Amino acid sequence: MSVVIAAFNAERWIRETIKSVLSQTYKDFELIVVDDGSNDATGRIVQEFGDKIRYFYQINLGQPAARNVGIRAARGQYIAFIDADDLWLPSKLDCQLKLIDQTGSAWAYCDAHIFDMETQTVRWTTSQIYTLVEGDVLRPLLLNSFIASPTPLIRRDVFKTVGYFDESVDRRIGEDWNMWLRIASRYPVVCLREPLAIVRSHSASMIRKMDLDNALSSRLLIINDAVERNPGRLQDLKRQALSRAYVESGKYALARGRHAEARQMFVQAIKHSPVRFPAWFCYVVSFLPRPLINRFRKLRRRINRQGKIRLTV
């Protein structure tokens, strides 16, 4: 088995990430770190672990390119990815490999905690926001990106069939969702319904720093690509998927206080799917003062954490 970490300026987090991988109860794996042109102490920290890690350095080409270097270098039958700021629980690889052995599946994923570094609390788990599906997941996956980045374990020969991560600049945001869609179009997946990974959310994480316009553009391109690859299976979901993309982008704009921009996105969502209640609801919410919106978001998180209702749009 091979574990691939793509890292860029990750000196604050990568030591803990590496330790969480090396602490796995399953021991028969190699750990590959691809340094994507870091100019901080990332490389020095990685090399402190000596021959426990295979270390590669490249000029800054983006996370998809770094992951592809890791895939090409991998020697194991299976490949798992973890971002340089995320964590695994000790039994993650062991449990997933056993599930794959039992089912004969080409890949598996698991639930994950979303951990807020600022408040030092778990904001939610993936399963509190989305329904975790297994088997043929292509259609639900087009509507919701419910496979968290550090959770899949994938048979290496799958990449010979579906190809590597897309390194196109206009598809770098959401490149993992893009890959999971491509794999899901060919292979059913199994799900381990335990949160065995931790996604650490912080001010420097990609989702916090992302440019909203670029993120929306990338998401729309990924949806269109998926539908073009599988028109018979996905064409009827295209408008709904595009509507959800605009809603998600609008929610990020609202969270940043950009109400007018958010409303424009919600209007586009309504145009693509006029009968969807969440788009209309978000449009109305966008007219509320920001303190009231923040109170609503806190209430929604509390409800999600209690697992009483899923507020998926």
**pLDDT given for residue 170 in this prediction:** 85
What does the radius of gyration of the chain's CA atoms come to, in whole angstroms? Answer: 19
**pLDDT given for residue 290 in this prediction:** 67
Q: What are 76-98's pLDDT values in tens digits?
A: 999 999 999 999 999 999 999 99
Instruction: Decide if 198 contacts 89 (C-beta within 8 A).
Output: yes
**pLDDT given for residue 199 in this prediction:** 95
Cβ of 133: how many Cβ atoms within 10 Å?
Answer: 17
Cβ of 119: how many Cβ atoms within 10 Å?
Answer: 9
- Per-residue burial over 202-224, b = 16 or more CB atoms within 10 Å of its CB, e = otherwise: eeebeeeebebeebbbbbbbbbe
C-alpha–C-alpha distance, residues 18 and 71, integer Å = 18
Task: Say which residues have a Cβ less than 8 Å from residue 265's Cβ, sequence separation at least 6.
Answer: 216, 246, 247, 249, 250, 253
Task: Say which residues have a Cβ less than 8 Å from residue 215's Cβ, sequence separation at least 6.
Answer: 173, 174, 249, 252
Cβ of 239: how many Cβ atoms within 10 Å?
Answer: 14
The answer, yes or no, to whether residue 306 has pLDDT greater than 60, is: no
Q: What are 220-267's pLDDT values in tens digits?
A: 999 999 999 999 999 999 999 999 999 999 988 887 888 889 899 999
Measure the CA angle with vertex 303, ends 302 and 309; round to 5°.
Answer: 160
The answer, yes or no, to whether residue 211 has pLDDT greater than 90, is: no
Matching residue, tokens 């997933």: 96
Q: Which amino acid is at 64?
A: P
Query: What is the pTM (predicted TM-score) of this model?
Result: 0.88
Could you give the 3-state DSSP secondary structure of residue 104?
coil
Average pLDDT, integer, range 101-111: 98
Percent of the chain whose predicted confidence (pLDDT) is above 90: 71
**pLDDT given for residue 223 in this prediction:** 97
Average pLDDT, integer, range 164-171: 91
Average pLDDT, integer, range 294-308: 56
Residue-range domains of the chain with CATH: 2-207 (3.90.550.10), 210-306 (1.25.40)
The answer, yes or no, to whether residue 302 has pLDDT greater than 70, is: no
Q: What are 123-155's pLDDT values in tens digits?
A: 889 999 899 999 999 999 999 999 999 999 999
Helical packing angle, 277-285 and 259-272, nearest 10°: 160
Instruction: Decide if 88 contacts 24 (C-beta within 8 A).
Output: yes
Q: What are 23-73's pLDDT values in tens digits?
A: 999 999 999 999 999 999 999 999 999 999 999 999 999 999 999 999 999
Angular region, 120: left φ>0, alpha ψ -120 to 50, beta rest: left
Matching residue, tokens 């408008």: 239
